[in-house]
Amino acid sequence: MTLQLSDPDLLRSQAYVDGAWVDADSGATFPVVDPATGDAIAQVPRMGAAETRRAIEGAERAREAWAALLAKDRARLLRDLADAMLANADDLAAIMTAEQGKPVGEAKAEVAYAASFFEWFGEEAKRVYGETIPAPMPERRIVVLRQPIGVTVGITPWNFPSAMPTRKAAPALAVGCPMVLKPAEQTPLSALAVAVLAERVGIPAGVFSIVTGDAEDAPLIGGEMTSNPLVRKLSFTGSTEVGKLLMEQCSRTVKKVSLELGGNAPFLVFDDADLDDAIAAINVAKYRNAGQTCISANRVLVQAGIHDAFVERVVELSKTVTVAPGFDPAATIGPLIDEPALAKVARHVDDARARGGEVLLGGGVHEQHGRTFFLPTVITGADMSWQMSNEETFGPVTAVHRFEREEDAIRIANDTPFGLAAYLFSRDHARIWRAGEALDYGMIAINTGFISAAEAPFGGVKESGIGREGSHHGIEDFLELKYMAWAGIR
């Protein structure tokens, strides 16, 4: 299928380095594949260290002038970029569905979410206030500036091809830092389309570059990004394993890092929960993006008194989920990103069966679509010995654990090295406070499945990461404090 776009210019097969659309030095390319069909949509450059270095040097050249612009002028450009994304939302959504697979309506919602970061951070950067501190000596003044950290780099995953790049680039650009971004090899086209619009609205050359590469190129691109002394900050979203490696690499030149890594989200449903709320949340926290998000509910812990009613409702909900290619208007979930992703989900389900789990619905590959399409699956009898209780399943599988006491649920929920998002459902305010405070997670969703917003601090604790994205906290990661000690004021 060829992609039908109102503006075919948004689909690029070159990278965007220092204000120019370029091929790899070697001329080598790799295919971007539609996960629904396995067909190549486009070829993009296989870049490495040399191209990445050039992008970083371009960013360094652009840095001073970009940082010297008035915050309101940067904000205007970012607002124009957000507007351009919204004006082209249908095309951006089509590109995203083609490379990532999510239903086109969901892709369009992601485009709006992705654009919101440019709008919000542009406005917020007008309020990067400094500080004066009462000094311990009469002739002294203590003044603190908050200044852009310098050249930044971003590395993003495939599950949110537009929002992950913009969540990083928006705060960086807003406060005056250029960014060189490496999108995931599975989904570079959405990031490149944002760069087309950035160029169109007049973001200067070098301020926002995109370097593309295949899986084998990622260590070369990442190696340059993490070793180049011009780079002052890395923002990474992806696996804990790669995050740890990049953090280690960044230590050699003491770069600031923010990491948004894996999760293993518990979803706690207490006896006094509103079932409608909990089921509406499962629909989001389990089936959005076919369960391929780092905040997807991974362990669904349900109290004994509501367990059977909850399971019945999840099965009912899951029967309404339509598995189909993302361009099919009926689709509520599309394909998984690739065949290895499906193999992992199938392995988790087989493991659950072998350990006595009861598969009430689904449990296998979609008969008609095959390959990367997994059925909505509901399994009961889960416990912490299961593979899926310890690793992210990243698929449309709801595995239900039964618990008796609140303290058991909290203990099980915290029994993981991860700490990104947790969900809790209860109508008892005291319980919500108790559980909310006891859960070792960076984000707690209370009676909802939606938590992501540009206004809110997104991020995790423990091995789920460092730092926060979104909100005024997200801007801090791109700023340095400078203390000025003024003496001689007599």
Q: Nearer to ligand ADP by C-beta: 246 or 413?
A: 246
**Is 222 among the residues that bind ligand ADP (CB under 6 A)?**
yes
Starting at the edge strand found earlier in the chain, the sheet holding 421-425 runs 358-361, 377-380, 397-403, 297-303, 265-269, 421-425, 443-446
- Smallest distance, ligand ADP to C-beta of residue 156, A: 6
CB 218, CB 134: distance < 8 Å: no
Tell me if residue 177 is catalytic.
Answer: no
DSSP helix/strand/coil, 206: coil
The residue number whose beta carbon is nearest to ligand ADP equals 222
Q: Is the dihedral of CA 468, 166, 101, 107 positive or negative?
A: positive
Catalytic residue among 106, 294, 406, 476: 294
**Is 182 among the residues that bind ligand ADP (CB under 6 A)?**
yes
Q: Which of 46, 257, 44 is nearest to 155 (CA)?
A: 257
Candidate list 185, 260, 463, 476; residue touching ligand ADP; CB under 6 A: 185
State which of positions 245-284 bind ligand ADP (CB under 6 A): 245-246
- Smallest distance, ligand ADP to C-beta of residue 312, A: 34
**Is 35 among the residues that bind ligand ADP (CB under 6 A)?**
no
Tell me if residue 57 is catalytic.
Answer: no
Q: Measured between alpha carbons, how far is 78 from 123 in angstroms, rounded to an integer?
A: 9
CB 100, CB 92: distance < 8 Å: no
Q: Measured between alpha carbons, how far is 241 from 420 in angstroms, rounded to an integer?
A: 15
Q: What is the largest CA-CA distance in the chain?
A: 83
DSSP 270-303: -TTS-HHHHHHHHHHHHHGGGG-STTSEEEEEEE
Size of the site for ligand ADP (CB under 6 A): 14
- Smallest distance, ligand ADP to C-beta of residue 374, A: 17
- Smallest distance, ligand ADP to C-beta of residue 182, A: 6
Q: Measured between alpha carbons, how far is 448 from 469 in angstroms, rounded to an integer?
A: 20
Candidate list 107, 184, 198, 479; residue touching ligand ADP; CB under 6 A: 184
- Smallest distance, ligand ADP to C-beta of residue 237, A: 7
- Smallest distance, ligand ADP to C-beta of residue 224, A: 10
Catalytic residue among 260, 392, 406, 463: 260
- Non-local (6+) Cβ contacts of 407 within 8 A are none
Identity of the amino acid at 33 = V
Q: Nearer to ligand ADP by C-beta: 119 or 185?
A: 185
State which of positions 141-170 bind ligand ADP (CB under 6 A): 155-157
**Is 227 among the residues that bind ligand ADP (CB under 6 A)?**
no
**Is 74 among the residues that bind ligand ADP (CB under 6 A)?**
no
Candidate list 48, 101, 238, 474; residue touching ligand ADP; CB under 6 A: 238
State which of positions 201-220 bind ligand ADP (CB under 6 A): 218-219
**Is 239 among the residues that bind ligand ADP (CB under 6 A)?**
yes
**Is 29 among the residues that bind ligand ADP (CB under 6 A)?**
no
Candidate segments 60-68, 139-147, 168-176, 238-246, binder of ligand ADP by CB under 6 A: 238-246
- Residue 158 sits at the vertex; the CA angle it makes with 42 and 471, to the nearest 5 degrees, is 130
Q: Nearer to ligand ADP by C-beta: 176 or 263?
A: 263
Query: Could you say which DSSP state residue 26 is in?
Result: T
Q: Measured between alpha carbons, how far is 297 from 323 in angstroms, rounded to an integer?
A: 19
Starting at the edge strand found earlier in the chain, the sheet holding 479-486 runs 131-133, 141-148, 479-486
Instruction: List the catalytic residues.
Output: 260, 294
Binding site for ligand ADP (CB under 6 A): 155-157, 182, 184-185, 218-219, 222, 238-239, 242, 245-246
